Amino acid sequence: MASTWSSQIELTTLSLCSFLICEIHTNEKEVTEKEVTLHLLPGEQLLCEASTVLKYVQEDSCQHGVYGRLVCTDFKIAFLGDDESALDNDETQFKNKVVGENDITLHCVDQIYGVFDEKKKTLFGQLKKYPEKLIIHCKDLRVFQFCLRYTKEEEVKRIVSGIIHHTQAPKLLKRLFLFSYATAAQNNTVTDPKNHTIMFDTLKDWCWELERTKGNMKYKAVSVNEGYKVCERLPAYFVVPTPLPEENVQRFQGHGIPIWCWSCHNGSALLKMSALPKEQDDGILQIQKSFLDGVYKTIHRPPYEIVKTEDLSSNFLSLQEIQTAYSKFKQLFLIDNSTEFWDTDIKWFSLLESSSWLDIIRRCLKKAIEITECMEAQNMNVLLLEENASDLCCLISSLVQLMMDPHCRTRIGFQSLIQKEWVMGGHCFLDRCNHLRQNDKEEVPVFLLFLDCVWQLVHQHPPAFEFTETYLTVLSDSLYIPIFSTFFFNSPHQKDTNMGREGQDTQSKPLNLLTVWDWSVQFEPKAQTLLKNPLYVEKPKLDKGQRKGMRFKHQRQLSLPLTQSKSSPKRGFFREETDHLIKNLLGKRISKLINSSDELQDNFREFYDSWHSKPTDYHGLLLPHIEGPEIKVWAQRYLRWIPEAQILGGSRVATMSKLLEMIEEVQSLQEKIDERHHSQQAPQAEAPCLLRNSARLSSLFPFALLQRHSSKPVLPTSGWKALGDEDDLAKREDEFVDLGDV
Amino acid sequence: MPPRVTFQPCGWQQNEDTPLSSEYDFALVNIGRLEAVSGLSRVQLLRPGSLLKFIPEEIMIHGRDFRLLRVGFEAGGLEPQAFQVTMAIVQARAQSNPAQPYSGITLSKAGQASGSRKPPVPLMETAEDWETERKKQAARGWRVSTVNERFDVATSLPRYFWVPNRILDSEVRRAFGHFHQGRGPRLSWHHPGGSDLLRCGGFYTASDPNKEDIRAVESMLQAGHSDVVLVDTMDELPSLADVQLAHLRLRALCLPDSSVAEDKWLSALEGTRWLDYIRACLRKASDISVLVTSRVRSVILQERGDRDLNGLLSSLVQLLSAPEARTLFGFQSLVQREWVAAGHPFLTRLGGTGASEEAPVFLLFLDCVWQLLQQFPADFEFSEFFLLALHDSVRVPDTLTFLRNTPWERGKQSGQLNSYTQVYTPGYSQPPAGNSFNLQLSVWDWDLRYSNAQILQFQNPGYDPEHCPDSWLPRPQPSFMIPGPPSSVWLFSRGALTPLNQLCPWRDSPSLLAVSSRWLPRPAISSESLADQEWGLPSHWGACPLPPGLLLPGYLGPQIRFWRRCYLRGRPEVQMGLSAPTISGLQDELSHLQELLRKWTPRISPEVHSKKRDPHTILNPTEIVGILKDQFHPFWITRC
């Protein structure tokens, strides 16, 4: 077996510096000359390293692995082992150009454990004793195990304390790798490739969005916060109801004013508001009250629809709940060894349920459907209320838009939505992901929760989305790659101020930070085809000549599940309706709910059932199923690194090539028909060729491709040991059929 | 016609093509629960013999196959009929004795077919069928034995089966006597690589065989191989009672008014243990496939009765290892051979006899196959809809396939049946001639019960035969029969092989299967799958670590899925709005485009192509309720 192990035991001493001084010392050039295999990004510096580290390929009782160097830079922890990545050119096409298979960005490290005398302990702070084995749990759910038994003692000390220091010690924002990278790569990335994602950092972008959604009749984009004069929490530009005086915005630093998110075709809009600061003093409370009264008066008058306030701070999820649920949930997938895995496997469903992560997803989706119902069926405005309007507000409002607005289901639209609601909406990515390690707390994965909710929608209605689940998975991974500015600031204000100052110090022009939406930074064009859903149902071509606004209106009207768009939300009307429906349609299940006399539930149920009883228009309103069996585990993200979970030659990938073939045929036939019909131009056929001629892929595709190749050695267990002892082994060898030669 | 409840939508006519079944048919045996509903709150559960307490506005029939039929009686003079119809169903259920054999079926279709009608799938009731199949499998060391031609070795065995060439029929007869219910070792499948998969009942420990008998038994088990593995199929798999209990729990969970809260759904599902049993089956089948494929050996599936789990495992192993078994034809032949002909007691297991030994082992098998279909969507020629059709067929009393316990009973009945099939049909006044077997209808005559459009959906559009039969080119194996005792004998149990001193229990050691194990969770230590043990470093298979044609299923908690389209059919809120299986959607578009193209091509005169049925047609109700068809599913009944 030993022959298959690669031994990269380098006895020649390298210029190793302790992690503390090397930050000053290390010359990037020198390092690259000595070690070709370590690929450094611009601005990246090697901090410490250790050789003869054994990386376990798959943990079990035997110690099988690959020898190599473990390296820690200011960007990542990397293991440089045998050149196994060169094994298969075919399969490595979905390689991330920034983060390699054995790279862990420092921000991606979740927990570090050390094994001392077979005991696993969490590592933090100053260590008195150094472990024999290092286990790293990553936020993208990879688990790395490094055996340090064969490494020199001083190297162990350096690498372990270096890794702990650089992943756990609190960091200053300015020390983020983001800035060193941007400074160093300044010259390289001059051209911003044509990227249609709307960033919402200009007034024009907001006006465009207003026009697109026909919200410009009742809402206006304002530049009152230009230069962040009013407050640092809000973006420079945003949208408010037209009659709202601009002084109101300044009054409480942007608190207590309704900010527009999105307008529905029927005129109703989704608004958000951050709550006014809590005050004890009666006088101030009076002032607040009269201020709010004034604000409500403006938006309660015609032409504005009736407003329903949805307080997300109370009676809904708390951030604490989300955090607890996720940390329980992810433990199901962070598996150190197969024994542990099989232990949990038996109780899989109850463990899954007790984490209540899926239930939280269900509650979010349900809330979004409720709001959709108000807007779509009852023609009401919905005002989301939250302390800072930057956590659950972002989540719920994005989900509502995803369900109601087909534009958000295109890739560009989805990216613009995230820009609008999350990045410009001031979601505190830096704090929620705990990128700066400001406290011992784990991350609060609100954005991840959102992506998981989106995945449920994508999974249930694949043809409605232009992007694939792989897209969502790599997007979730990008949260931890500190070369993109998108997810590394708490607010647009924080980003702008930090960019500017750096610029003054060194050069005249401001830093050019990368956005995650530039996928070419991470993936080759071929790999990017996997992010695009080949089965996406394109919009009907007839609309081509029509005006944009018209098109949207037309399409959404087609899909209305309940067409009383003009009806007022009179209760009596719905009462009658429900009675009739209950008798003839919905039966006992509903009658149970009715008896609870919850009017809101009635409307919700009716809306939900009625939508699901009709055929789906992928360019219209889209609702998820939220019953128990329908909320599922995002298998691609959570199971992709578990070798036991792979199905060789199986899963969706298996039908992919057939699918692509058929798509091509459809397209060519379509072209032929078009030729005969008119001399109209056919759409570009764009079938990904990545999967062509591929042998049997595993279900883990496109992640963790090489797991099987380097998996375990033949291991005698009780039965096989006996076989080895017997002396007629040779005879048996003769009759062994090598099907591989066939 | 067998006793049934049927709903005939307005304008519905007996379809000439599918005389036996409409989608709204419920055989009385299939009725799991009958409820009458009035208003919002009055619900009465109607047991056979109970008296209806009010005039129902609606009746709900919950099928044991998870279907749900809701019939509403609209106000306006229909009240008396509503009462009568409901009471009639109640009484019919009370009277129908499940054990009573059906007297036959009026089959006009049978009359139409002339005497030379050939069954769509070989029924394995003639020696020729067995010989053809043997040749197909290239099982050279084997022959068809006629020793059970008169069912005097065992009534539960088929008339014919395969035994090693060198074993005489007299030896077979004697050897079989030492097995439980006379079910001695027979070949199930010959692996093209040379291995043989055998199945047999438990050793009959009370018997005292002489030396010659023992030798005969041993050489039958050995089947000419020097490496022999005995697989205790009851080990680690659920008992019949376990299966039955799990299925009952599953049905309760899937009832539309199941009281399980949504956030407790997963643990409730786990509590049924149904999915647990499925993965136990898949895991074991996967292990056995590895045993059969990795070396040339004789692998013997041994179960005390040899009529339940043996059939399940042997079928699964073939599905995993033989691409032919994954075709539509191959799968049907497989079921016919390993279940029907092999004497799986369908009637008892599906509750047809009312006996206590009810256990839907076959339905467990179908769910396992569905799991495989999910995991390997390109490797099966048949679709989920086919499995659903098969699932729904087990209780439809139209054909004898699933209505008898043994081949012997089936044979008796089909003789009788012959006289009933001579029905006068207007077009074909001549009574059919020919022997009874040719006329016997089986469940595989799908066109009796399903329309052509539905049968078309049996095909899996994602089937990619590229990996399949063509690439399956086994190296011809020199047929060698090694005389003398086997050099190694193993017992495969709990995921590991342990050496055995001898094959048969009679000489000195205690009986193997006397210590028959109850189902226990696998200890965590033996976590390595057999595939990993055998192929840890698959250097000899190059880039693709598995031999061609072999599928290794996933059997982890997250990989075993819930067959929603089958089990949740009764839940109106779930069955609607499912997105179409995307490939078949594409195929529809493809055929539509081809159609269009044909129209546009001037050479071919534009045909009036039959438009696809509008998926949302509302059938006008005779009685009362319109029934809306789900666009994607041909087989389930939907609420209006």
pLDDT of B308: 94
Chain A residues lying within 8 Å of B562, measured CB to CB: 629
The β-bridge partners of B232 are B302
The H-or-E segment that residue A109 falls in is: strand A109-116
Chain-chain contact of A348 with B270 (C-beta, under 8 angstroms)? yes
Three-state DSSP state, B36: strand
Please report residues of B whose CB lies closer than 8 A to that of A460.
579
Domain count, chain B: 2
Task: Give which of B220, B372, B233 is closest to B311, Cα–Cα.
Answer: B233
Helices (H) and strands (E) in chain B, counts: 20, 16
Residues in CB range of B76: below 8 A, 6 or more apart:
none
> What values do phi and psi take at A490, rounded to 5?
-85, -25
Q: Which of B102-111, B275-284, B491-500 has the highest mean pLDDT?
A: B275-284
Largest CA distance in chain A: 97
CA-nearest of B583, B586, B576, B582 to B615 is B576
Q: What is the number of other CB atoms lying within 10 angstroms of the CB of residue A558? A: 12
CA A167 to chain B, closest CA, distance in angstroms equals: 32
The reply to whether A339 touches chain B by the CB within 8 Å rule is yes
**Cα–Cα distance, B577 to B615 (Å, whole number):** 12
Determine contact, residues B330/B315, Cβ cutoff 8 Å: no
- Report the alpha-carbon distance of residue B149 to residue A470 in Å, rounded: 59
- The reply to whether B556 touches chain A by the CB within 8 Å rule is yes
The residue count for chain B: 640
> Which residues, 6 or more positions from A117, have their beta carbon under 8 angstroms from its beta carbon?
A132
Q: What is the mean pLDDT of residues B216-224?
A: 89
Return the pLDDT at B282: 93
B40:A583 CB<8 A: yes
Which residue in the set B558, B577, B600 is minimally distant from A348, CB to CB?
A: B558
**Is B414 within a domain?**
no
The alpha-carbon gap from B473 to the nearest alpha carbon of chain A, in Å, equals: 7
**Amino acid at residue number B207:** S
Element (H, E) at A381: strand A381-386
Q: How far apart are CA B546 and CA B293, in angstroms?
A: 10
Tokens standing for residue A651 = 């899963």
Residue ranges of the alpha helices (H) in A301-404?
Answer: 319-331, 338-346, 348-355, 357-376, 392-404
- Nearest CB to A666: which of B70, B463, B586? B586
- How far apart (Å, rounded) are the C-alpha atoms in residues A251 and A288? 10
Q: From CA A515, how far away is CA A376, in angstroms rounded?
A: 34
Q: CB distance from B427 to chain A under 8 Å? A: no
Please, how many CA atoms are within 13 Å of residue A408, restricted to the half-sphere of its CB?
A: 26
Cα A418 to chain centroid, rounded: 10
Examine residue B90 and state whether it is found in any structural domain, yes or no. Answer: yes
Q: How would DSSP label each residue in A439-466?
A: SS-----HHHHHHHHHHHHHHH-GGG-S
Q: Tell me phi and psi for residue B158, to 5 degrees.
A: -70, 165
Asked if B591 is an interface residue toward chain A (Cβ–Cβ < 8 A), one would say no
Judge whether B431 lies within some domain. Answer: no
Q: Which helix (H) or strand (E) holds A250?
A: helix A246-251
A429 phi, psi to nearest 5 deg? -60, -40
CA B529/CA B496 separation, integer angstroms: 9
State how far the Cα of A636 lies from the Cα of A450, in Å rounded to an integer: 16
Positive or negative, the Cα torsion across B531, B532, B535, B539?
A: positive
**Token pair for residue A203?**
């007034």
pTM reported for the whole predicted model: 0.77
pLDDT of residue A238: 94
Mark the ranges of chain A whose per-residue pLDDT is less than 50. Answer: 1-36, 59-61, 85-90, 190-191, 501-504, 542-597, 680-695, 705-742
Could you say which architecture CATH assigns to the domain A46-85+92-169? Roll (2.30)
Which pLDDT score, from 0 to 100, does residue B611 have?
36
CA distance A533 to B13: 44
Q: Which residues of A touch B499 (CB under 8 A)?
A: 719, 722-723
CB neighbour class for A207 (10 Å; exposed up to 12, middle 13-18, buried from 19): middle
Distance, in Å, from the CA atom of B507 to the CA atom of B519, rounded to the nearest integer, reads: 28
Sheet of strand B31-38, all strands in order from the earlier edge strand to the far edge? B42-46, B31-38, B58-63, B68-72
Please tell me which residue, A517 or B527, carries the higher pLDDT value: A517
Our CA-based measurement puts residue B22 at a distance from the nearest CA of chain A, in whole angstroms, of: 23
- C-alpha to C-alpha distances, A82 to A5, A233, B480, B583, nearest whole angstrom: 8, 48, 45, 41
CB-based contact B424:B546 (threshold 8 Å): no
Q: Which residue has the higher pLDDT, B101 or A536?
A: A536
Is B108 inside a domain boundary? no
Interchain CB contact of B585 with A (< 8 Å): yes
The Cα A198–Cα A423 span in angstroms is 11
Nearest to B552 among A612, A630, A648 (CB): A648
User: Can you tell me the distance from the alpha carbon of A32 to that of A38, in angstroms, rounded to the nearest whole number?
Assistant: 7
Q: Give chain B's mean pLDDT.
A: 74
Cβ pair B263:A645 closer than 8 A = no
Residue scoring higher pLDDT (A580 or B588): B588
User: Which range of residues forms the domain containing residue B573?
Assistant: 563-590
Q: Is B274 within a domain?
A: no
Share of chain B above pLDDT 90, in %: 25
Give pLDDT, residue A189: 52
Q: Return d(Cα B67, Cα B26) in angstroms, integer.
A: 9
Structure tokens at B510: 């205690």
**Cβ pair A270, A229 in contact under 8 A:** no
Q: Of B415, B372, B369, which is closest to residue B390 (Cα–Cα)?
A: B369
- Which chain A positions have a beta carbon within 8 Å of B541's beta carbon? 739-740
CA B637, chain centre distance (Å): 22
Taking residues B222-240, report their average pLDDT: 89
Task: Tell me how crowded residue B333 is: count the other CB atoms within 10 A of its CB.
Answer: 23
Q: Which residues of A520-536 are buried (b: 16+ CB within 10 A; e: fewer)?
A: ebbbeeebbbbbebbbb
Test B579 with A462 for CB contact under 8 angstroms.
Answer: yes
Query: Which are the contacts of A148, defined by CB distance < 8 A and separation ≥ 6?
Result: A50, A53, A130, A131, A132, A133, A134, A156, A159, A160
Instruction: Tell me whether residues B553 and A348 touch, CB distance under 8 A.
Output: no
Coil, helix or strand at residue B117: coil
> Can you give the pLDDT at residue A264?
92
d(CA A735, nearest CA chain B) in Å: 7
Q: Which of A344, A717, A733 to probe the B interface (max B CBs under 10 A)? A: A717
Task: Choose the weakest-confidence range: A13-22, A675-684, B212-221, B238-247.
Answer: A13-22
Neighbours of A75 (CB within 10 A): 27
Q: Which two tokens stand for residue A358?
A: 């899926």
Following CA atoms A197, A199, A205, A210 in sequence, which dihedral angle do they give, to the nearest 10 degrees? 80
DSSP A530: G
Which pLDDT tens digit goes with each residue over B132-175? Answer: 999 999 988 899 999 999 898 999 999 999 999 989 999 999 99
**Domain definitions of chain A by residue range:** 46-85+92-169, 203-498+512-530
B533 within some domain: no
Residue where one domain finishes, among candidates B65, B95, B125: B95
Position A640 scores a pLDDT of 84
Instruction: Report yes or no on B329 lying in a domain.
Output: no
**8 Å CB contact of B577 and A611:** yes
Report ipTM for this prediction. 0.71
Residue among A614, A676, A735 minimizing CB distance to B296: A735
Q: Could you tell me if residue B582 is inside a domain?
A: yes
Encoded amino acid at B289, one letter: S
- d(C-alpha A41, C-alpha A565), whole Å: 55
Q: Which residue has the higher pLDDT, A185 or B331?
A: B331
Q: What's the CA gap between B626 and B638, in Å, rounded? A: 10
A/B interface, count of CB pairs below 8 Å: 288
Task: Determine the pLDDT at residue A288.
Answer: 87
Residues with Cβ < 8 Å from A118, sequence gap 6 or more? none
Query: What pLDDT was estimated at residue A664?
Result: 77
